């Protein structure tokens, strides 16, 4: 990646400054966790059963624990360590909960946690091809994030996306590997295909039309499928959710971050109602007749 500074129409390249220690990456990430992610910081150097976890965090939206590990070099097996730590979380969940309750002064119970949404994030200046291929499974809860620092105090964070052709880990896993089987059976990574399974061709086509139109509103909108809905996020902030159903798609616009107006009153407020999505304003999608107007509503959040 090349970065340039624009100095009166003259570009000067910013030089990358290597991190000297893994601890430098960890300190930077932990101090800015709320800005870099939507996670809550729980514990640094969390030790359990002789395993030292770099950063323990909690996903408040999905009610799940997230382990963050930092690597300065490329000689580690992120697959083996990732699966091992996910299994550790499943086996000793009560100790993770105890640490969370003590640090956050709360009283979560085991049943309050959605263990199927657990995951591990590896953060490194770069990953080699073997590391990328070893974790490139659409249903494996291991994420790779690249972090680089440049002169002029510039920091770049790049979460690597799974390839579009990424297979299922269950297609190739060895039947005699009990740890991998346990992790893949209990921890679920949801996809768009999961939400569109058993839906009619009409609903699938309607979803694709709205999906492409929403993504075209800005370059940095990303799709993050969750357990109950498909989120569309910008800068780690959910702007809307889509919930495909048998006869319609429910759109939930996250209006809490902006002054929002729907002059045509297409939707209803869900502040005091049961809802699936994260947003607070619901619009029912059954066709594309109001597509352009709905896009204008979404633009209010960008």
pLDDT tens-place string over residues 9-52: 788 888 999 999 999 999 999 999 998 998 999 999 999 988 99
Q: For 246, left (φ over 0), alpha (ψ -120 to 50), or beta?
A: alpha
Say yes or no: domain 14-186 is CATH 3.40.1350.10: yes
The pLDDT, as a whole number, for residue 3 is: 72
Claim: this prediction has a pTM higher than 0.95: no
The pLDDT, as a whole number, for residue 258 is: 59
3-state SS assignment for residue 176? coil
The pLDDT, as a whole number, for residue 74 is: 75
Fold match, 14-186 / 192-299: no
Closest by CA to 143, choosing from 196, 92, 90, 85, is 85
CB atoms closer than 10 angstroms to residue 262:
18
User: Which CATH number describes the domain made up of 192-299?
Assistant: 3.90.1150
Buried (b) or exposed (e) across 127-164, using 16+ Cβ within 10 A? beeebeebbbbbbbbbbbbbbbbbeeeeeeeeeeebee
Query: Which residues of the chain carry a pLDDT beneath 70?
Result: 1-2, 172-177, 257-258, 272-275
How far is 84 from 142, CA to CA, in rounded Å? 11
Q: Where are the domains of the chain?
A: 14-186, 192-299
Q: For 262, left (φ over 0), alpha (ψ -120 to 50), or beta?
A: beta
How far is 70 from 61, CA to CA, in rounded Å? 24
pLDDT tens for residues 137-150? 988 999 999 999 99
């Amino acid at each position: 990646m090349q970065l340039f500074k624009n100095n009166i129409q003259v570009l000067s390249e910013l030089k990358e400054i290597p991190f000297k220690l893994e601890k430098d990456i960890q300190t930077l990430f932990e101090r800015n966790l709320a800005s870099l992610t939507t996670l809550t910081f729980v514990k640094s150097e969390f030790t359990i059963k002789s395993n030292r976890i770099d950063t323990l965090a909690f996903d408040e939206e999905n009610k799940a624990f997230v382990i963050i590990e930092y690597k300065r070099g490329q000689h580690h097996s992120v697959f083996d360590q990732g699966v091992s730590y996910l299994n550790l979380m499943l086996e000793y969940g009560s100790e993770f909960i105890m640490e969370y309750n003590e640090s956050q002064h709360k009283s979560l119970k085991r049943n309050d946690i959605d263990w199927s949404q657990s995951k591990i994030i590896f953060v490194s200046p770069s990953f080699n091809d073997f590391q990328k291929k070893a974790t490139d499974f659409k249903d494996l809860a291991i994420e790779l994030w690249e972090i680089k620092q440049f002169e002029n105090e510039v920091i770049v964070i790049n979460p690597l996306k799974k390839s579009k052709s990424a297979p299922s880990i269950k297609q190739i896993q060895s039947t005699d590997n009990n740890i991998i089987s346990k992790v893949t059976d209990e921890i679920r990574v949801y996809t768009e295909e999961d939400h569109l399974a058993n839906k009619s061709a009409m609903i699938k086509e309607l979803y694709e039309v709205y999906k492409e139109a929403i993504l075209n509103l800005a370059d940095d909108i990303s799709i993050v499928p969750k357990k109950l809905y498909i989120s569309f996020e910008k800068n780690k902030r959910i702007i809307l959710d889509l919930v495909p159903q048998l006869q319609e798609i429910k759109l939930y616009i996250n209006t809490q971050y902006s002054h929002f107006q729907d002059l045509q009153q297409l939707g209803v407020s869900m502040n005091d109602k049961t809802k699936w999505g994260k947003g607070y304003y619901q619009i029912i999608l059954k066709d594309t007749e109001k597509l352009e107007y709905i896009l204008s509503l979404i633009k209010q959040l960008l």
